[in-house]
Amino acid sequence: MLNRYQTGLTLIELTLLILVMGVVIVPLSTGLLSASRSFSVNDELHKSTADAQACADHILAIRRDPAQGYSAIVDGGGMCSSISSISGLTRTVTVTDTSANPPCPSGDCKDVLIDVSINGGSKASLSLLLMQ
């Protein structure tokens, strides 16, 4: 005896189901890939900004220390070499005497520029204006 009511899907129905699932899954996977790349870029930016902030805090601590003070902030002295950097980041600190420039309200100022880069590309820059 043959059963008049068969259960299951025909080959055409299965083919259409796979086609519809493919049409739905491709945009979703593209969106997830894009979100993953965005997360990676944001993570690098966060790490480099935190590294620049840690260096700025270190420089301000030197400036406030009575034993070292303003005169200890010099260019080329490896101002932040004593604090550890996050792996893969390169930190550059440049100190410029800006005493003669208009932004300096007092007679003696130094501009400190902290630049943090990853693989040669600058990710974060922080500038401090220190006054005597």
Give SS3 for 104: coil
Average pLDDT over residues 26-46: 88
Residue spans of alpha helices (H) in the chain: 11-64
The model's pLDDT over 70-128, given as tens digits with 9 standing for 90+, comes to: 888 888 767 788 777 777 788 888 898 887 777 677 778 888 999 988 887 888 899 98
pTM: 0.70
Q: What is the dihedral of CA 65, 108, 116, 121, to 10 degrees?
A: -170
- CA distances 78 to 58, 75, 94, Å, are 12, 8, 9
Choice among 18-32, 53-67, 101-115, 118-132 with the minimum mean pLDDT: 101-115
Per-residue pLDDT at 109: 86
Give SS3 for 8: coil
Give SS3 for 1: coil
Task: Provide the pLDDT confidence category of residue 19 given band limits of 50, 70 and 90.
Answer: very high
Average pLDDT, rounded, for the chain: 84
**How far apart (Å, rounded) are the C-alpha atoms in residues 110 and 26?**
55
- CA distances 16 to 5, 8, 21, 23, 117, Å, are 22, 14, 9, 11, 51
